[in-house]
């Protein structure tokens, strides 16, 4: 299965690594989990609390 790419120039999906003369972006960015059970812990560590 090929990975989908996204062209930010013409706002369309493509399988090509470049489109409209620009590099395409991954259509599957790193997941962001708003319910990350460790998010609060990490924030406390970051701020030294």
* Alpha-carbon span 35 to 27, nearest angstrom: 22
Nearer to Zn ion, 18 or 43 (CB): 18
Alpha helices in 1-49 (DSSP H): 39-46
Q: Do residues 38 and 24 make contact, with C-beta atoms less than 8 angstroms apart?
A: no
State in angstroms the smallest separation of the CB of 31 from Zn ion. 25
* Binding letters toward Zn ion, positions 3-42, x by CB under 5 A: ----x-xx--------xx----------------------
Q: Which residues bind Zn ion (CB under 5 A)?
A: 7, 9-10, 19-20
């Amino acid at each position: 299965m090929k990975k989908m790419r996204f062209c930010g120039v013409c706002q369309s999906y493509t399988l090509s690594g470049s489109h409209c003369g620009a590099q395409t972006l991954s259509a599957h960015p790193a997941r962001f989990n708003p319910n990350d059970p460790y998010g609060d812990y990490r924030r406390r560590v970051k701020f030294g609390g």
